[in-house]
């Protein structure tokens, strides 16, 4: 019998091995945010193997500027600190395993997110349910925005038109390099796409609190749904000041990684919305806890991503479909990448609608072996 911490569950399954791969995926064009520019996304793919032949897939997209992780540190963490906890365990006991991993290693949220995702993949496959259904979802389609990186106002307007022509109804525009040019960016995009398109703005910590208030007041007339992370991540007082002084809802992204951060944000009244990213919080298990805090605090939720391929985006999409409180969906990084490691299965896109797969677990059916290299 399978023995979890609190009792018997059923016949036991065991994790027999954990494989780690690296994938280097090129962006269609250099992607710039206030924190820097990326031309490729270097991700870590994890495959957990069990003695019953069920395999779980997960992906980490480490962001050194946000979580302090590199590809190398992520690979090292999975191989040396997560794998030893996993091997020999029953993968169904997800809560116990993740608790032990947290005890064994502080931080390394993307590495943990990849393992968490692979465990939930196995859980879904074991019970023959798509992960979103296992999490209680009644939805199988979610609507995403699409992100436009920082460029000249004219270039951003051009990208905006292209995305609207492809069927996107919500644009997330990156700003935060220069307050005056940022206003021009928002104006150029609004002028280009007309009134029916929703515009979200993300400053990625690029403004001081006073610059943020001044700039947000100027862009409010262009019809802005929300402004994400106007000030540095550590400055909750500054973000509360911004929130007090503008009409536009403020979303916290880099300021909230963990459930503990979420609680601190609630107490500081610094934001109206929390942007959950699996890569920041350590996976679905922790994301559920943030969602619970947000619900109790009457704070809205957004779900976002780093540079995940369709594999990691699929994990986040299953979670997003299951959590009603998630009103803002920003699951688009794979759409900005030229290469796709998911050959068959995973979430698909039609206009701005992402369909969840109906296969069990994450629903990833085939991974491009030529795009993942042994790490």
| Catalytic (active-site) positions | 174, 277
Q: How far from chain centre, in Å, is Cα 320?
A: 10
Min dist CB 153 to Mn ion, Å, is: 20
The contacts found for 50-54 with CB under 8 angstroms, 24 or more apart, are: 50/13, 50/14, 50/15, 50/16, 50/91, 50/122, 51/13, 51/14, 51/16, 52/13, 54/13, 54/91, 54/122, 54/125, 54/126
Taking the least distance from each CB to Mn ion, the nearer of 47 and 174 is: 174
Min dist CB 203 to Mn ion, Å, is: 9
Contact present, 115 and 279 (Cβ < 8 Å): no
Q: How far apart are CA 368 and CA 23, in angstroms?
A: 10
* HSE value, Cβ hemisphere, 13 Å, CA-based, for 182: 28
Min dist CB 204 to Mn ion, Å, is: 6
Binding-residue pattern over the window 345 to 364 for Mn ion, x denoting contact by CB under 5 A:
--------------------
Does position 145 interact with Mn ion (CB under 5 A)? The reply is no
Does position 300 interact with Mn ion (CB under 5 A)? The reply is no
Taking the least distance from each CB to Mn ion, the nearer of 253 and 352 is: 253
Task: Name the pairing type of β-strands 15-33 and 373-374.
Answer: antiparallel
Residue nearest to Mn ion (CB): 253
Phi-psi region of 228 (alpha: psi -120 to 50; beta: other; left: phi over 0): beta
Min dist CB 265 to Mn ion, Å, is: 14
Min dist CB 173 to Mn ion, Å, is: 11
Residues in region 209-228 near Mn ion by CB under 5 A = 228
Q: How far apart are CA 18 and CA 89, in angstroms?
A: 12
Q: Which stretch binds Mn ion (CB under 5 A): 160-168, 200-208, 211-219, 258-266?
A: 200-208
Q: Which stretch binds Mn ion (CB under 5 A): 109-117, 247-255, 316-324, 332-340?
A: 247-255
Q: Which stretch binds Mn ion (CB under 5 A): 37-45, 138-146, 170-178, 195-203?
A: 195-203
Min dist CB 277 to Mn ion, Å, is: 8
Min dist CB 34 to Mn ion, Å, is: 10
Taking the least distance from each CB to Mn ion, the nearer of 182 and 228 is: 228
Calculated CA dihedral for residues 151, 155, 160, 165, nearest 10 degrees? -140
Does position 253 interact with Mn ion (CB under 5 A)? The reply is yes
Residue of 202, 300, 308, 332 interacting with Mn ion (CB under 5 A): 202
Taking the least distance from each CB to Mn ion, the nearer of 121 and 330 is: 330
Q: How far apart are CA 20 and CA 42, in angstroms?
A: 13
Taking the least distance from each CB to Mn ion, the nearer of 202 and 352 is: 202
Size of the site for Mn ion (CB under 5 A): 3
Q: Which stretch binds Mn ion (CB under 5 A): 92-100, 124-132, 245-253, 294-302?
A: 245-253
Core vs surface per residue 248-279: b (16+ CB within 10 A) or e: bbbbbbbbbbbbebbbebbeeebbbbbbbbbb
Taking the least distance from each CB to Mn ion, the nearer of 253 and 308 is: 253
Contacts of 247 (CB under 8 A, 6+ apart): 220
Burial of 6 (0-12, 13-18, 19+ CB in 10 A): exposed
Taking the least distance from each CB to Mn ion, the nearer of 35 and 105 is: 35
Contact present, 230 and 272 (Cβ < 8 Å): no
Q: How far apart are CA 238 and CA 265, in angstroms?
A: 12
With vertex at residue 156, the alpha carbon angle to CA 150 and CA 162, rounded to the nearest 5 degrees, is 130
Q: Which residues bind Mn ion (CB under 5 A)?
A: 202, 228, 253
């Amino acid at each position: 019998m399978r023995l979890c911490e609190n009792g018997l569950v059923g016949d036991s399954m065991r994790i027999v091995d954990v494989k780690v791969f690296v994938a280097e995926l090129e962006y269609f064009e250099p992607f710039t945010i206030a924190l820097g520019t990326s031309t490729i996304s270097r991700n870590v793919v994890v495959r957990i193997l069990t003695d019953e032949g069920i395999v779980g897939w997960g992906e980490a997209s480490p962001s050194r500027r946000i979580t302090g992780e590199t590809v190398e540190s992520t690979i090292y963490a999975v191989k040396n600190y997560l794998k030893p906890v996993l091997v020999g365990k029953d993968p169904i006991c997800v809560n116990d395993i993740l608790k032990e991993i947290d005890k064994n290693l502080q931080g390394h949220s993307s590495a943990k997110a990849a393992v968490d995702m692979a465990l939930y993949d196995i859980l879904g496959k074991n019970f023959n349910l798509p992960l979103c259904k296992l999490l209680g979802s009644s939805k199988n389609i979610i609507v995403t925005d699409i992100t436009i990186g920082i460029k000249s106002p004219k270039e951003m307007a051009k990208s905006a038109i292209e995305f609207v022509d492809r069927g996107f109804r919500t644009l997330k525009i990156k700003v935060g390099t220069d307050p005056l040019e940022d206003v021009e960016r928002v104006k150029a995009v609004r002028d280009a796409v007309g009134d029916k398109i929703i515009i979200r703005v993300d400053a990625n910590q690029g403004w001081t609190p006073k610059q943020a208030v001044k700039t947000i007041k100027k862009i409010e007339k262009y019809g802005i749904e929300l402004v994400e992370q106007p000030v540095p991540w550590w400055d909750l007082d500054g973000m509360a000041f911004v929130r007090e002084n503008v009409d536009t809802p403020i979303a916290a992204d880099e300021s909230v990684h963990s459930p503990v951060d979420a609680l601190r944000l609630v107490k500081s009244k610094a934001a109206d919305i929390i942007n959950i990213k699996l890569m920041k919080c350590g996976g679905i298990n922790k994301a559920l806890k943030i969602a619970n805090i947000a619900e109790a605090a009457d704070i809205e939720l957004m779900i976002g991503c780093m540079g995940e391929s369709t594999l990691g985006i699929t994990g986040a999409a299953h979670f997003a479909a299951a959590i009603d409180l998630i009103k803002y969906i920003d699951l688009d990084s794979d759409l900005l990448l030229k290469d796709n490691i998911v050959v068959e299965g995973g979430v698909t896109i039609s206009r701005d609608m992402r369909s969840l797969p109906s296969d069990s677990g994450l629903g990833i059916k085939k991974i491009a072996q030529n795009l993942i290299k042994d790490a």
